Amino acid sequence: MNRRDFLVELGTEELPPKALKKLSQAFTGGIIEGLKAAGLSHSAVHSYAAPRRLAVVVEALQERQADKQSERRGPALQAAYDDEGLPTKALQGFARSCGVEVKQLEKLETDKGSWLVHRSEEKGKPAQDLIPTIVQQSLDKLPIPKRMRWGDLTAEFVRPVHWLVLLFGDEVIDAELLAVKSGRETRGHRFHHPEKISITEPLEYAPLLETEGRVVANFTNRREAIRGQVQEAATNLGGNAVIDEALLDEVTSMVEWPVAVVGSFEQRFLDVPAEALISAMKGHQKYFHMVDANGKLMPNFITVSNTDSKDIGAVSAGNERVIRPRLSDAEFFWNQDRKHKLEANREALKNVVFQKQLGTVFDKSERIAALAGFIAEQLGADKHDGIRAGQLAKCDLMSEMVGEFPELQGIMGRYYAGHDGESAAVAEAMDEQYMPRFAGDELPKGAVGQAVAIADKLDTLVGIFGIGQPPTGSKDPFALRRQALGVLRSMIEQQLPLDLTALIDESIAHYKVSGREFDAKLDGQVFDFMMERLRVYYTDADISVDVFEAVSAVRPTRPYDFDQRVRAVNAFRQLAGAESLAAANKRASNILRQAQEKGGVIAVEVEVSLLQEAEEKALAERIDAVTEAVGPALQKLDYTSALQEMAALREVVDAFFDEVMVMAEDEKLRLNRLALLNRLRQLFLQVADVSQLQG
């Protein structure tokens, strides 16, 4: 089968920087998926993405589909002809549906009888006939929230399309996509080489664009070139560049021919908190900042230009002129905000609505303060620090700085609280209240910060559930899923001895103080919602669902305790006797349930005098011994050791079920044996319901 290389390039106006990488991945994935569906094999696939282009090169693509042999089975031979040997209506209909005469059908012999079949060969289609549709389907599936039209055309895409390259080997595939006719001409850099560039064959695409067109088309290569240039520029100034990966991706999506340019700003701006300066440089101007050997911000920045200017100094000066007003604003806000205490902003919170049914942000801060004090006390921290931190938690929202730079909420609160002389724990809590800010983010470290962070998130969860607005489908305007996971992560990963149900009830109580009554079942609804998020947490950690279900069945209410049980059960299932004991527990559970359904009351105490069989005596003795042995481990929440002790029951449990009739006719014997099984079940249920484990 002959093969040729294939190139598709879509040339556009500048694509959205934050979406470029995702668009490129989706476009390439769609091409690969389409080729696979068409049965066209190939070798390596190369993806290219730059501000004005999306492209894919496929090496050694099959020139045409393989021919397909098909076999369609018709009626059985004995039903194909009548007594006179003439074709039946069924046979005639089958032949017509195949488009052939009866005599053209073939016989198929199987071990189940003889059949008439129609065999045919479907010729494979040329790749160049299939490729336009494959490319169009890939474009149609791109994750574009809102498509646009341009001119008087009906075509729709994320940005206007200006050219299309479709090359199969050295031949142009004739097609029209998004109102543009295909060809072999691409465009170089908008300024360095705006002229057309003719491509002879696909594999010369990237090298030709770079050498002649001054475009680094490969996203990864361009990204690493920027990283290297930025690091080198920082090193030359005696500093270290701080490279945020998301910012690096965004900058890579904005330039085709990257050139790092260094700029500087006045030393006096360093008196402003570094986070504010960095936010101005990074968020507004897409600059990389620099730090010295001690990690202190330097009065320099690195920007990445899209042109190789002959006068780099002018480019640098231009960027300095642009950033200076932003830094001056930050300096002004910093000085203005410190003219009054952070606490002075509390009154203004009364004019900001948190949620119309749940009151103002001031109301929320009052509830947070009360709950944070309650939590702080349980964590061994100063209750009054917890209350104070809750009262001040949202005050920086009314500051000039956060009004201009919303991403600094909490961070500026920490600076202002420290400036006002608040305790270090309270000041740190101003920032930590928002942790974790996103999936995988760091957690609050201080006890007061932990208290405020948990209180804030639980207050939102309880309130929004209380007014009947839980998340639905993909809609979660208050980010309740993220907030629930944040609470759970803090409790588990920081080993906090907090009871989730107690905290939910405490939060509900603080809403009642403010006169808001909720459904009596609210506590269970919030708890169950958070348990579902916990299920996702363990799924992401590759803990199987049955392990989660085994622990969930005994409904532990302390997340850290829940986690200890999950880890123990996950280790238990790897033991040699785990599967047998899980099956035994399931069998015991079924027997006990059936007995209870018949009206029986199952005791937990076993009458030793009623034990007759050696196997039931042995089981009773071993349960007593294991119960005593696991006591200290359970008190220390050492569930792994406890389950290891219980695993030693395997042989006596197996022997019991093999030799002892539980449902004996003698009622006393039967009830005593049920009690023995109940003791076995209760022993395991101190950790989890291992009967939920799958084999």
Are the CB atoms for 588 and 681 separated by under 8 Å?
Answer: yes
Q: How far, rounded to the nearest angstrom, does the alpha carbon of residue 452 sit from its chain's CA centroid?
A: 25
Which token pair is 225?
């070139």
Say what the pTM is.
0.82
Helix (H) or strand (E) holding 353: strand 353-355
Closest to 60 in 3D by CA, of 126, 4, 7, 127: 4
pLDDT value at position 534?
96
Query: Looking at the domain 344-542, which fold is it?
Result: Hypothetical protein af1432 (1.10.3210)
Sequence-separated contacts (24+) of 241-247 with Cβ below 8 Å:
241/288, 241/289, 241/290, 241/302, 242/288, 242/289, 242/290, 242/291, 243/288, 244/282, 244/288, 247/282, 247/286, 247/288
Q: 486-516 pLDDT, tens per residue?
A: 999 999 999 999 999 999 999 999 999 888 8
Query: Looking at the domain 568-692, which fold is it?
Result: Isoleucyl-tRNA Synthetase; Domain 1 (1.10.730)
List C-alpha distances in Å: 177 to 46, 53, 169, 196, 426.
21, 15, 20, 19, 60
Question: How many Å from the N-terminal Cα to the C-terminal Cα in the chain?
Answer: 48
**For the residues of 233-245, what is the DSSP string, one character each?**
HHHHTTSEEE--H
**How many Cβ atoms sit within 10 Å of the Cβ of residue 237?**
15
Are the CB atoms for 364 and 358 separated by under 8 Å?
Answer: yes
Alpha-carbon span 404 to 680, nearest angstrom: 64
Task: Pick out the chain residues at pLDDT < 50.
Answer: none
Q: Is the dihedral of CA 645, 651, 655, 658 positive or negative?
A: positive
Q: 635-678 pLDDT, tens per residue?
A: 999 999 999 999 989 899 899 888 888 888 887 888 888 888 88
Q: Do domains 3-65+126-211 and 568-692 have the same CATH topology?
A: no
Beta bridge partners of 49: 54
Alpha-carbon span 26 to 13, nearest angstrom: 19
pLDDT value at position 396?
97
What are the residue boundaries of the structural domains of the chain, listed by start?
3-65+126-211, 71-121, 219-337, 344-542, 568-692
Which token pair is 316?
């640098």
pLDDT value at position 600?
67
Query: Looking at the domain 3-65+126-211, which fold is it?
Result: Alpha-Beta Plaits (3.30.70)
Which token pair is 214?
């001054």
Using alpha carbons only, what angle is made at residue 220 by residues 214 and 224, rounded to the nearest 5 degrees?
80
Closest to 550 in 3D by CA, of 687, 681, 680, 642: 687
Token pair 């490279």 is found at 243
**How many Cβ atoms sit within 10 Å of the Cβ of residue 338?**
15
Phi and psi, residue 289, nearest 5°: -95, 170
Closest to 217 in 3D by CA, of 445, 452, 439, 53: 53
DSSP-derived letter for residue 663 is S
Token pair 């990074």 is found at 282
List C-alpha distances in Å: 368 to 393, 411, 442, 466, 506.
8, 18, 21, 16, 11
Closest to 191 in 3D by CA, of 252, 249, 256, 254: 256
